[in-house]
Amino acid sequence: MITSDIQLAADKLSRGGLVAFPTETVYGLGADALDEDAVRRVFALKGRPANNPLIVHVSSIEMAKSLVCNWSKTASLIASRFWPGPLTMVLPKSDRVPGVVTGGGDTVAIRMPDHEIARSLIESFGGPLVGPSANRSGTISPTTAEHVEASLGPDTLVLDAGPCQRGIESTVIRITEAGAEILRPGVTGTNEIEEIISIVQSDHEPPANAPLPSPGMLTKHYAPSSETRLVDDLGEIPGEAVVVCISEPPAGSRAIRMPSDASGYAARLYAALREADAFAPEIILIERPAGKGPIWDAVRDRLRRASAQN
């Protein structure tokens, strides 16, 4: 990636345009976070529900502070420990942040990506960028530039930096007086967060059409076009099925083998789901991973939502 490519993308953003950019998690669809019209173009291109908020990406803690009305000591501790990285904080928003960004809510989700190109783009643009996954809403998240083009079409400008390292979206936490609520699991685990702040549980079921506190909370998400089921035992496989598994697949089945380590599985997950979907099978059967740890928990969260029935 050369500097002129990043500057070209920053110039497009400054004109209210959209640019897909790489992060360590997935490719994001970027727009000026403070330009309401540009943000509405993101929602329109993705077909995203208006109450589903966007994460705002920053390149410095100072930029993050400018987006909130109460930057607490806890927020500073979390940022100093986990930024740049795959952790998003939900904090009370300032009046600078348009309501469309937050789905109409009074909090804003912010993170600093651990990707040189993403931060260089934000710095070249000179302000914060929204960056939801660069795909149609509810479908499989993109981890390569080719995935972005397949989902959003060839007219979308993409800064191509190859496959994303992490492969699944950031952990999202909401900072409260009582502690931190986990709104979306990710590769940053609760054990790490609890070194700084206690974890509290809460019921995250807002009324229908009310603003969601975080992205990634819809029941069905990250989903292939084909019917998808999460199973504990592969058993007898229908002839028109594709199997996604760690263990040895049944003889004669069409199978996509997955890495047995959590980080490898997460990085491979969305590409594997796309490959399975490309067969246009009657059903995709995913063997439920049994591993323990925060990354496996996040993987299982994505698989539950990918296989949820409408």
| CATH code, 175 | 3.90.870.10
β 180-184/199-200 pair status: parallel
pLDDT at residue number 237: 81
| Domain boundary, last residue among 159, 181, 200 | 200
Residue range of the domain that includes 42: 3-200
Residue 269 lies in a domain: yes
Residue keyed to tokens 């727009």: 31
Any idea what the Cα angle at residue 132 is, between residues 197 and 149, rounded to 5°? 145
Question: How far is CA 263 from its chain centroid?
Answer: 16
Please check whether residue 292 is in contact with residue 190, taking contact to mean a CB–CB distance below 8 angstroms.
Answer: no
pLDDT digits (tens, 9 = 90+) for 156-172: 999 999 999 999 999 99
pLDDT at residue number 209: 73
| Same domain (yes/no): 237, 105 | no
Could you tell me which residue, 234 or 51, shows the higher pLDDT? 51
Residue 221 lies in a domain: no
| Same domain (yes/no): 90, 34 | yes
Buried residues in 273-305 as b, exposed as e (16+ CB within 10 A): bbebbeeebeebbbbebeeeebbbbbbbbbbeb
pLDDT digits (tens, 9 = 90+) for 79-122: 999 999 999 999 999 999 999 999 999 999 999 999 999 999 99
Please check whether residue 141 is in contact with residue 166, taking contact to mean a CB–CB distance below 8 angstroms.
Answer: no
What value does the mean pLDDT of the chain take?
94
| Same domain (yes/no): 299, 260 | yes
pLDDT at residue number 204: 56
| Same domain (yes/no): 32, 165 | yes
Q: What is the number of other CB atoms lying within 10 angstroms of the CB of residue 207?
A: 6
For residues 94 and 108, what is the distance between their CA atoms, to the nearest angstrom?
Answer: 8
Query: Total structural domains in the chain?
Result: 2
pLDDT digits (tens, 9 = 90+) for 183-229: 999 999 999 999 999 998 766 566 667 889 899 888 899 999 999 99
User: CB neighbours of 174 closer than 8 A, spacing ≥ 6?
Assistant: 89, 90, 107, 180, 181, 183, 213, 214
| Same domain (yes/no): 59, 153 | yes
The H or E element containing residue 296 is helix 294-306
pLDDT at 239 over 70: yes
pLDDT at residue number 251: 84
Residue 126 lies in a domain: yes
pLDDT digits (tens, 9 = 90+) for 241-281: 999 999 998 888 899 999 999 999 999 999 999 999 999 99
pLDDT at 300 over 60: yes
- Mean pLDDT, range 294-305, rounded to an integer: 96
Q: How much is the pTM?
A: 0.95
Q: Which of 90, 99, 112 is nearest to 176 (CA)?
A: 90
- Mean pLDDT, range 28-52, rounded to an integer: 97
